[in-house]
Structure 1
Amino acid sequence: MIDLRLLREDPDRVRASQRARGEDVALVDALLSADERRRSSGVRFDELRSEQKSLGKLIPKATPEERAELLKKAEQLKADVKEAEAAQNDADEETKRLASQLGNLVHPDVPVGGEEDFVVLETHGTIRDFGAEGFEPKDHLELGEALGAIDVERGAKVSGSRFYYLTGVGALLELALVNAAIAQATEAGFTPMLTPALVRPRAMEGTGFLGQAAENVYHLEKDDYYLVGTSEVPLAAYHMDEILDADKLPLRYAGFSPCFRREAGTYGKDTRGIFRVHQFDKVEMFSYVAPEDAENEHKRLLDWEKQWLTGLELPFQVIDVASGDLGASASRKYDCEAWIPTQGKYRELTSASNCDGFQARRLSVRMRDGKKVQPLATLNGTLCAVPRTIVAILENHQLADGSVRVPEVLRPYLGGRELLEPVAK
């Protein structure tokens, strides 16, 4: 939720942000109108309540003749107060409803456009020339099946398309990735967290996932719970309705959780293997910081992601995500995209998003600096989305005989193993 004071003071900025997102600009004027009704009805209610209280003090002191007239007036005031309170509540609800539909303000440096209008900021690592090495690279599924690491056939038999089993060294590789990611995050000062995978509606709505992203959220209607698509949700709601001391910021958490996504609207995309799936595990970084520190924290999150991917010895690029592809909560987002050899292109592995005060306002997470209480800023960054990371490792580190070289950073978590080797059939 954006700051309504900013909306009133600079509506053109909010209109420009909506336009950049490709969203409805008319929503801004509707919200301005609702906010004006909310404030004016609040003033009306306060005036009537004040008059009612003053009248209540006069009645005991009035003469019998005056009392009858005052009681009649009090009865009318009671009805007026009730009517004004209802109008105030209606205007307040309408303001909240419209404000919840408005995306975060887009950072002025974000490239404007849709999914393909990103700007490449950096490129890291060297893309292998498999032709020069004398062999054609296999895709991750062919490699994973030969290694006894991935079983999508039985995943589909048990749960349907876009489900899978990680078996043998595949399961061990996931555990190695998770442990290595948590170790890096802990060393950087993050508190490790194992978070709930089921959350109440307010947590999901408060983080901004029940707007345009709602189609990809699993909802358990019988119990009114949502399955999280990222531990960002329970981490953002962890301090819901709390006031944090400014001198204890930043607070940084590294959450590990299963994640669930319906992948609506992706029919026919990435149907082979485990790149785009309905259930996966992920290590997510999450930061609570003072508003003035948000941009620097955003760069720090990106640096930790770059450190991670560099340690995995993956070629990757960093992009500045375009305005129409930000999602409701982010004012700016950087993606790190790893090179996938058999696709011949970079694909998203991690994201780092600055949400400013957007989520904090919706979840009522504030900071106290002296006597001043105000919303703080929240940021999130994926450190390791496991299946996609496995895809990138298998394809980039494969050898001609079908084995896969283990990046050095993972070897301590795989018993010192340097190679993943095909299993005998």
Structure 2
Amino acid sequence: MIDLRLLREDPDRVRASQRARGEDVGLVDALISADERRRVSGSRFDELRSEQKRIGKLVPRASGDEKAELLKRAGELAGEVKAADAERDEAADETRRLLLALGNVVHPDVPVGGEDDFTVLETHGAPRDFEAEGFAPKDHLELGAALGAIDVERGAKVSGSRFYYLTGVGALLELALVNAAIAQATEAGFVPMLTPALVKPRAMEGTGFLGQAAQDVYQLEKDDLYLVGTSEVALAGYHMDEILDEARLPLRYAGFSPCFRREAGSHGKDTKGIIRVHQFDKVEMFSYVAPEDAEAELDRLLAWEKQWLTALGLAFRVIDVASGDLGASAQRKFDCEAWIPTQGKYRELTSTSNTGEFQARRLSIRMRGKEKGVRPLATLNGTLCAVPRTIVAILETHQNADGSVTVPEILRPYLGGRETLTPVTA
């Protein structure tokens, strides 16, 4: 959630952010009104309680008519205090409800618009010219079937559409990717983590995934638990309700977990293959930093993602995601999109977001320093390896005319030194 002081001091900035996100600007004014009512009712309650305590001290020392008047007033105050308490709680609940519905304040440099209004910041590598090499590229499904690596038909038979099996070298390729990604993250100073895939509502709400993203979340109503769509949720919740020593920051974690997404609203999109699926594995970077260090940390996370994609030999570009496509918790987000040869376009492989103090305030995570005392910190997240999409990019980019696939050098130690994946079927 945002800082209420920002709302009071610069409401136009918050309105502009809502407008840039394409969300309800009226929410800002409703929140301002609720916050004012909360403060007024709180002051009224404090005044009445103060009077109630004062009269409570006078009654034992009074007598006659004076005591009768005091007792009468004490009786009136009891009802007034109770009513003021109820009004204060109602206003506080309304303020919190509206505050939780408000997205993070967008960074001023973010391009304004929807999904297609991003800005391309940089491009790395050139897409392979298969025509010049004399053969037409096969898509990842055809390659995966020939390699004995991907089976979507049996995935659909067992679990439904958008599910799949990774088999043989496909399973080994996933394990190689995960191990290589964790190795890079560990070398960069991240603490490796295996995180829960089921979380309580507080963790899901605190990270901002029960607002506009709620339709994409799987809920286990009987157990009051949610399946995570990213280990960001569990990594953010790890220090929930804690005060961290500023001297320990930055804290960096690399979480590996299965991820589950309904893919609501994606009807007709990427129905073929394993680009858009309901369950996948992912290595996620997560950082806790002082707010003043957050923008520099965002650049670091992006640099680690670029290092990873470069090591995999992929052509990719970096985009500055537009305001309407940020998600509720992000101030700013950079995506790395890899070139997918058979689609003839770039597709998102990694993303990194600066959420500022937004998640920390919702999850009550603070830092304590010598100079500024106790205050909220900032959190950031960055995908290092979303496995299925990375497999798609590797298979299609590094395929050969005979249907084999050259293994990126960074993965070979995790595949027993194997340099090539070869077809198992004609």
The TM-score, its normalising length taken from structure 1, stands at 0.99
Partner of 2:23: 23
Q: Distance in 1 between matches of 2:51 and 2:141?
A: 75
Q: Secondary structure at the match of 2:108?
A: coil
Q: Shift of residue 66 of structure 1?
A: 2.5
Partner of 1:214: 214
AA aligned to 1:163 is F
Q: Shift of residue 69 of structure 1?
A: 2.0
Deviations 1:79-98 (A, max 9, x none): 11110000000000000011
Deviations 1:169-225 (A, max 9, x none): 000000000000000000000000110100111100000001111110001111111
Are residues 1:38 and 2:38 paired? yes
Q: Shift of residue 127 of structure 1?
A: 1.0
Partner of 1:159: 159
Q: Distance in 2 between matches of 1:405 and 1:126?
A: 17
AA aligned to 2:382 is G
Partner of 2:410: 409
Deviations 1:40-84 (A, max 9, x none): 001001111111111111111112442222122111111111100
Q: Distance in 2 between matches of 1:272 and 1:173?
A: 20
AA aligned to 1:121 is L
Are residues 1:177 and 2:177 paired? yes
Q: Distance in 2 between matches of 1:424 and 1:202?
A: 49
AA aligned to 1:390 is I
Which is further off, 59-68 or 272-281? 59-68
Q: Shift of residue 126 of structure 1?
A: 1.9
AA aligned to 1:105 is V
Q: Secondary structure at the match of 1:235?
A: helix
Partner of 1:375: 376
Partner of 2:356: 356
Partner of 1:386: 387
Q: Shift of residue 369 of structure 1?
A: 1.2
Deviations 1:339-386 (A, max 9, x none): 000000000000000000000110110111126211110000000000
Q: Distance in 1 between matches of 2:145 and 2:151?
A: 7
- Contiguous gaps of at least 5 residues in structure 1: none
Aligned positions of 1:105-184 closer than 5 A: 105-184=105-184
Q: Secondary structure at the match of 1:110?
A: coil
Q: Distance in 2 between matches of 1:252 and 1:56?
A: 54
Which is further off, 79-88 or 69-78? 69-78
Q: Distance in 1 between matches of 2:249 and 2:59?
A: 54
Aligned positions of 1:133-282 closer than 5 A: 133-282=133-282
Aligned positions of 1:41-80 closer than 5 A: 41-80=41-80
Overall identity of the aligned pairs, in %: 81
Partner of 1:4: 4
Q: Secondary structure at the match of 1:163?
A: coil
Q: Secondary structure at the match of 2:258?
A: strand
Q: Distance in 2 between matches of 1:133 and 1:275?
A: 26
AA aligned to 2:39 is R
Q: Distance in 1 between matches of 2:248 and 2:380?
A: 16
Q: Secondary structure at the match of 1:267?
A: coil
AA aligned to 2:44 is R
Q: Distance in 1 between matches of 2:65 and 2:42?
A: 34
Partner of 1:88: 88
Q: Secondary structure at the match of 2:385?
A: strand
Q: Distance in 2 between matches of 1:126 and 1:25?
A: 42
AA aligned to 1:384 is C
Q: Distance in 2 between matches of 1:423 and 1:216?
A: 37
Runs of 4+ residues deviating >4 angstroms: none
AA aligned to 1:113 is G
Q: Distance in 2 between matches of 1:239 and 1:221?
A: 25
AA aligned to 2:422 is E
AA aligned to 1:387 is P
Q: Distance in 2 between matches of 1:266 and 1:87?
A: 43
**CA RMSD for the aligned pairs?**
0.8
Q: Distance in 1 between matches of 2:67 and 2:394?
A: 86
Aligned residues: 425
Q: Shift of residue 289 of structure 1?
A: 0.3
Q: Distance in 1 between matches of 2:279 and 2:425?
A: 29
Partner of 1:397: 398
Q: Distance in 1 between matches of 2:215 and 2:282?
A: 20
- Contiguous gaps of at least 5 residues in structure 2: none
Q: Distance in 2 between matches of 1:56 and 1:166?
A: 74
